[in-house]
Amino acid sequence: MTPPEALRARALDLLSRGDMAGGIAGLEAHLAAEPDDAGAWLSLGAAHAAEGRWSEAARALARAVELEGGEVEARLAYARALVRLGRLDHAADQLRQGAAIEPADPRVLRELGIALYDQRLHDEAARWLTRACEAAPEDGRAAFALGLAHEARRDIAAAIAAHREAVRRAPGFSDARLTLADALASIGEHEQALGELEALLARERSHEKAAHNREVLRRALAEMRARRLLGKTERELARSALAVEAQLRRREQTPAATGEGAGRQIVRYTAPLLELYATIDPAGGAIEALHLVLTDPDRAARSEDDVFKVTVIAEDGRQAPVNYATGASITFLREALGCPMTQASALYASLLQGTPSVDWGGATVRLASVPGAASKAGGERHGILVSRRG
């Protein structure tokens, strides 16, 4: 009779030479004689996993963990098999135990974060993936996964930072650069997004998705530049929906007193319930900033929007009309930035929720007061300020 150790050695040799069936049979014969050999169970589970037999792999790896639970390798392999079987909660439990054994093992930290992300436990996923990034400073995939978790948490700034880090760590990781471009485009940074796609195509000229997205972004950027009022002149402002539908009337032009607008001219426009202040560069006549102010905010909030006719999509999917204050504000943001109505709605909602400022498409959006020198009637007033960055 062949000794168990010889059976094991021969089985491992067969596996190393690609004879999976022979190797698996040899390990099973060895384990029939030595059922407490944790290493052999681990090798058997790995062999089944290599063949895509995940149920068999999970059974073998569970036995390996049972025999030697203090070994991270068996627990990690078992968790991977559980993930393949869709048992994400059990996989996460195994990985948590693995992290308790080896707190700095970047593989365990990353795969636990990914398992939690797949369970839509995005906050917890982000915490573990942050630890994974710290444990493995050059692991691009950990940074990429962290970026996805931040996107799911709707923290786009953190997501972009993580995707940038993934690209730095792994310049050839095309998914990271493609996702970074998508994230940048989602906040209107079309030029930066195009730069990332160009860098990707420089490495992979035949990348169809990147080439397609580049053309879409080029068109979107051209449309945004054509629509947005920032950088245009008063002539385009006079033809805008904001000016035409609200029936804005140009009043007076005054020099900006101090601050970042010094040296510019401020033109005041008025309409029922609102005023618009345009900061103009006298050298070329370009609009540097636009400031929308509701002169009677309470009345504007009570009044139906029968001027701009803006609708929003409610949580139940139905279209809902808005009041005059919301209609004017969303129309203003859409035209000042040249962004879609859905994006303007999201920006407006963000301001109402207390976000101090939002950067979008090379501009900054924030709530601000109009300097007293600009508002001769009634002193200081408050509204939405959109200004060009840089």
pLDDT tens across 53-73, in order? Answer: 999 999 999 999 999 877 899
Domain limits, the chain: 4-225, 234-388
* CATH number assigned to the domain covering 4-225: 1.25.40.10
Cα gap 238→358, rounded to integer Å: 26
Extract the tokens encoding 213: 């997205």
Cα gap 299→124, rounded to integer Å: 44
* pLDDT of 245 above 50: yes
pLDDT at residue 320 in the model:
66
Helix, coil or strand: residue 251? strand
pLDDT at residue 204 in the model:
95
Average pLDDT value over all residues in the chain:
90
Extract the tokens encoding 97: 């135990």
pLDDT at residue 139 in the model:
97
pLDDT tens across 266-277, in order? Answer: 999 999 999 999
pLDDT tens across 169-181, in order? Answer: 999 999 999 999 9
pLDDT at residue 359 in the model:
92
Residues 297, 381: contact at Cβ < 8 Å?
no
Region of 55 on the Ramachandran plot (φ > 0 left; ψ -120 to 50 alpha; else beta):
alpha
* pLDDT of 316 above 50: no
* pLDDT of 111 above 90: yes
pLDDT at residue 373 in the model:
46
